[in-house]
């Protein structure tokens, strides 16, 4: 029976192969490998992976959207290869004592339709993004600007938003409080300028490549939905000598196995999500690469649900897993075991210092002895009498594998028998997490900007992302205090104190598991691509070396 089937399959293959061969007899020679000649345009092909939701910088929120506009647009600043903000449309700036007033001086730059890029374009763009009627998700990224939140929530007036073009080339901004990461934010899409003349004439200018206007290293020349984005070098860009690529092509292939085939057949040079089962093989070939990503994969405890309302149980669960095993045997892409909350690669007060290194670890990995003692203290020696607990995750093979390992570790290390795993479709899971009708939920957090605050202010009482429902008035007060502190050293001390409080007795609202990494496939001839630890990719300095 089996043999018959096999023969049938082989026959089918042969027949289909014959059919295919018949169709293409005239073009059976495979396309010759591109020979590098000096005249040939230098093209880099990258798989963006998805169709960008929009190319309107005011309305975008995701990394793919950022990546889609970063070649074509530039804000006041642009992140340099060392991760620090450098000059962009602004060639210099003054910051007031106390850090709440910024004055930006703009260079002579042009939009790709010939209009000059002016300070008015920035003022217009920021106020546009804050317009309640535009209803931009990321309008809150602009809340650092004085008067922005009031206007966006319908309580204030647009005239009180403290961004003002003093003249065509000078932009003055007042902030609500000191924000040491404000220059980083100025490179962020929400803060990018829009061509105000064009927008007034055609509010949908961003919807097609024909009407899109660029001011970055490249010009957007083509946007085929769910298929391709193309960019060409912008001859009017102020720093055009630094741009080596003639053309950039982004594809939107979603299936990771298809993406891998394209990479292996030379249709793309760079791709983002290598399929997990192939990682070992790709590592051996040397095309699998990893760079840092400011993010933490963790479990949230619902601190209102017994037995998780006892911090000792939460701490015991946190200590009793072996993160090294999880990152080495399950996730495998080079993730780092997380023994604290704020991930590495966030700068501390002193230049060059790393917040994580200064702060150190808060607990030991796989500390079973301490965990057992804590669990006994909480009244469940060796897991006896422990009420059932449940782990919730959004449906995905990767999350499932991790949850199963953790279930096994808790069972083996702490003797907790009754652990159920529940998976829900993404949006259902989000609804459950927000409603607080879970016990332990998987989550991930990627920083919005390079500062520990993007990880710490989410745990304030009633915070929109504080699904643990943990509440500590001292913590809330310290967050507010740190926001107002103008001395960077003192401020950073406060941020370290905030993290201390998360792992103090009585706290432990979360169980950090690992720090994310950004894993990707890149051909060796691709050079100079800057992958920000916040996710976005900058192709400005990229080139092909073959």
Partner 1 sequence: MVRRLISMVLAVWVIATITFLLMHSVPGGPFSKDKALPPAIIKNLEARYHLDWPLWKQYVHQMYNILRWDFGPSMKYESRSVNQIIRDGFPISARLGAVAVALSVLVGLPVGIISALRHNRWQDNIAMGFATLGVALPSYVVAALFIYVFALKLGWFPSSLWGTPKHYVLPALALAGFPMAFIARLARSSMLEVLQQDYIRTARAKGLSERVVIYRHALKNSLIPVVTYIGPLIANVFTGSFVIERMFGIPGLGRHFITSIYNRDYTTIMGTTVFYSVFLVIMILVTDLTYALIDPRISIADERK
How big is the site for partner 1, counted in residues (CB under 8 A)?
Answer: 67
Give the pairing of strands 270-271 and 288-301. unpaired
How far apart, in whole angstroms, are the C-alpha atoms of residue 206 and residue 202? 9
**Residue 167 or 255: which CB sits closer to partner 1?**
255
Query: What's the min distance (Å) between Cβ of 206 and partner 1?
Result: 6
Task: Choose between 356 and 442: whose C-beta lies nearer to partner 1.
Answer: 442
280 binds partner 1 per the rule CB under 8 A: no
Q: Is 23 in the site for partner 1 (CB under 8 A)?
A: yes
* Segment holding 506, helix H or strand E: none
Question: What does the block give as tokens for 343?
Answer: 């991930």
**Could you tell me if 367 and 540 are in contact, meaning their C-beta atoms sit under 8 angstroms apart?**
no
- What six digits make up the tokens of 304? 């209102």
Query: Measured from the CB of residue 204, what is the shortest distance to partner 1 in angstroms?
Result: 7
Give the count of beta carbons closer than 10 Å to the beta carbon of residue 489.
Answer: 10
* Residue 466 neighbours by CB distance under 10 Å: 18
Of 34, 40, 224, 304, the one binding partner 1 (CB under 8 A) is 224
The interface with partner 1 within residues 407-436 (CB under 8 A) comprises 425-428, 430-432, 434
Question: Given the rule CB under 8 A, which of 225-233, 281-289, 377-385, 411-419 is the region that contacts partner 1?
Answer: 225-233
Residue number, 387 or 444, with CB nearest to partner 1: 444
Q: Does 353 bind partner 1 (CB under 8 A)?
A: no
> Which region, judged by CB under 8 A, interacts with partner 1, from 104-112, 261-269, 283-291, 535-543?
261-269
d(CA 61, CA 135): 12
Rounded CA-CA distance 134/120 in Å is: 19
- Residue 137 interacts with partner 1 (CB under 8 A): yes or no: yes
How would you classify residue 286: left for phi > 0, otherwise alpha for psi between -120 and 50, otherwise beta?
A: left
CA atoms of 89 and 108, how far apart (whole Å): 8
Minimum CB distance to partner 1 smaller for 7 or for 484: 7
With CB under 8 A as the contact rule, the residue among 149, 310, 451, 457 that binds partner 1 is 149
| Sign of the CA dihedral with 160 first, then 134, 254, and 224 last | negative
Of 267 and 370, the one with the shorter C-beta distance to partner 1 is 267
Does 320 sit near partner 1 (CB under 8 A)? no
Q: How far is the CB of 254 from partner 1 (least distance, A)?
A: 6
- Is 261 a binding residue for partner 1 by CB under 8 A? The answer is yes
Of 137 and 172, nearer to partner 1 (C-beta) is 137
H helical segments located in 92-244:
119-130, 148-152, 182-185, 196-201
Those residues whose C-beta lies under 8 Å from the C-beta of residue 441, and which sit 6 or more positions away, are 299, 300, 302, 391, 392, 393, 429, 432, 433, 467
CA dist., res. 145 & res. 305, Å (int): 39
Q: What angle do CA 463, 141, 497 make, to 5 degrees?
A: 50
Query: Any residues with CB less than 8 A from the CB of 245 and at least 6 apart, and which?
Result: 42, 43, 44, 218, 233, 539, 542, 543, 544
Could you tell me the smallest distance in angstroms from the CB atom of residue 116 to partner 1? 25
Build a one-symbol-per-residue string for 463-492: x at contacts with partner 1 by CB under 8 A, - elsewhere.
Answer: -xx---------------------------
DSSP 8-state secondary structure symbol assigned to residue 308: T
- Min separation Cβ 448 and partner 1, Å: 8
Note whether 20 binds partner 1 by CB under 8 A.
yes
CB 226 to partner 1: min, Å: 4
What is the nearest approach in angstroms of partner 1 to the Cβ of residue 276?
A: 16
Least distance in Å: CB of 8 to partner 1? 5
Taking CB under 8 A as the rule, does residue 34 contact partner 1? no
401 vs 430, which CB is nearer to partner 1? 430
Residues 44-103 that bind partner 1 (CB under 8 A): 51, 53-56, 59, 61
Number of neighbours of residue 190 by Cβ within 10 angstroms? 24
With CB under 8 A as the contact rule, the residue among 3, 22, 82, 133 that binds partner 1 is 133
334 within 8 A of 519, measured Cβ to Cβ: yes
Candidate list 153, 285, 420, 480; residue touching partner 1; CB under 8 A: 153
**Would you put residue 186 in left (φ > 0), alpha (ψ -120 to 50) or beta?**
alpha
**Burial class (CB within 10 angstroms; exposed 0-12, middle 13-18, buried 19+) of 272:** buried
The only residue of 6, 10, 18, 21 in contact with partner 1, by rule CB under 8 A: 21
Selected binder of partner 1 within 32, 235, 265, 284 (CB under 8 A): 265
Nearer to partner 1, 176 or 493 (CB): 176
β-bridge mates for residue 391, sequence order: 421, 440
Dihedral-angle region of residue 436 (phi above 0 means left; psi in -120 to 50 means alpha; beta otherwise): left
Q: Applying CB under 8 A, does 27 fall inside the site for partner 1? A: yes
Per-residue DSSP letters for 133-202?
TT--GGGGGGGGBTTHHHHHTTSS-GGGS-EEEEETTEEEEEBSS--TTHHHHTTSGGGS---HHHHHH-
Is 210 a binder of partner 1 (CB under 8 A)? no
Residue choice 22, 38, 114, 154 for contact with partner 1 (CB under 8 A)? 154
The footprint of partner 1 (CB under 8 A) covers 8-9, 11-13, 15-17, 19-21, 23-24, 27-28, 30, 51, 53-56, 59, 61, 132-137, 139-140, 149, 152-154, 204, 206-207, 224-228, 251-255, 257-258, 261-262, 264-265, 267, 425-428, 430-432, 434, 443-444, 464-465
């Amino acid at each position: 029976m089996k043999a018959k089937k096999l023969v049938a399959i082989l026959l089918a293959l042969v027949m289909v192969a014959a059919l295919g061969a018949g169709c293409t007899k005239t073009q059976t020679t495979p396309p010759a490998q591109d020979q590098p000649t000096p005249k040939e345009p230098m093209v880099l092909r990258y798989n963006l992976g998805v169709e960008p939701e929009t190319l309107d910088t005011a309305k975008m929120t995701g990394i793919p959207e950022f990546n889609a506009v970063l070649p074509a647009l530039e804000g006041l600043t642009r992140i340099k290869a060392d991760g620090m903000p450098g000059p962009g449309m602004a060639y210099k700036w003054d910051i007031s004592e106390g850090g709440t007033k910024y004055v930006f001086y703009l260079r002579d730059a042009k939009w790709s339709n010939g209009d000059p890029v002016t300070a008015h374009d920035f003022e217009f763009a920021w106020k546009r993004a804050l317009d309640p009627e535009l209803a931009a998700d990321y309008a809150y990224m602009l809340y650092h600007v004085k008067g922005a939140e009031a206007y966006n929530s319908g309580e204030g007036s647009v005239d009180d938003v403290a961004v003002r073009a003093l003249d065509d080339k000078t932009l003055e901004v007042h902030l609500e409080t000191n924000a040491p990461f404000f220059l980083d934010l100025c490179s962020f899409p929400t803060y990018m300028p829009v061509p105000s003349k064009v927008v007034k004439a055609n509010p949908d200018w961003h919807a097609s490549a024909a009407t899109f206007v660029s001011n970055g290293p490249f010009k957007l020349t083509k946007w085929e939905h769910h298929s391709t984005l193309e960019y060409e070098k912008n001859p009017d860009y102020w720093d055009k000598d630094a741009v080596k690529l003639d053309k950039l092509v982004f594809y939107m292939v979603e299936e990771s196995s298809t993406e891998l085939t394209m990479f292996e057949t030379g249709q793309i040079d760079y791709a983002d999500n290598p399929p997990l089962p192939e990682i070992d093989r790709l590592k051996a070939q040397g095309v699998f690469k990893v760079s840092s990503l400011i993010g933490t994969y963790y479990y949230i405890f619902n601190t209102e649900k017994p037995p998780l309302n006892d911090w000792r149980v939460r701490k015991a669960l946190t200590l009793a897993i072996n993160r090294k095993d999880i990152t080495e045997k399950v996730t495998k892409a080079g993730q780092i075991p997380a023994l604290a909350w704020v991930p590495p690669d966030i700068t501390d007060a002193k230049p060059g210092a790393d917040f994580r290194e200064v702060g150190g670890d808060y607990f030991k990995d796989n500390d079973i002895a301490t965990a057992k003692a804590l669990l006994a203290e909480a009244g469940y020696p060796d897991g006896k009498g422990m009420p059932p607990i449940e782990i919730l995750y959004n449906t995905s093979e990767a999350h499932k594998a991790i949850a199963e390992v953790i279930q096994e570790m808790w069972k083996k290390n702490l003797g907790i028998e009754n652990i159920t795993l529940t998976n829900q479709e993404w949006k259902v899971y989000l609804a459950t997490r927000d409603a607080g009708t879970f016990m332990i939920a998987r989550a991930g957090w990627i920083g919005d900007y390079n500062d520990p605050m993007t990880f710490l202010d989410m745990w304030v009482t009633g915070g929109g992302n504080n699904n643990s429902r943990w509440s500590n008035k001292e913590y809330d007060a310290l967050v507010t205090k740190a926001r107002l502190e103008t001395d960077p050293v003192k401020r950073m001390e406060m941020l370290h104190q905030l993290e201390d409080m998360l792992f103090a007795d009585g706290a432990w609202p979360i169980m950090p598991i690992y720090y994310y990494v950004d894993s990707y496939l890149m051909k060796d001839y691709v050079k100079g691509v800057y992958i920000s630890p916040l996710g976005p990719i900058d192709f400005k300095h990229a080139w092909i070396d073959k």
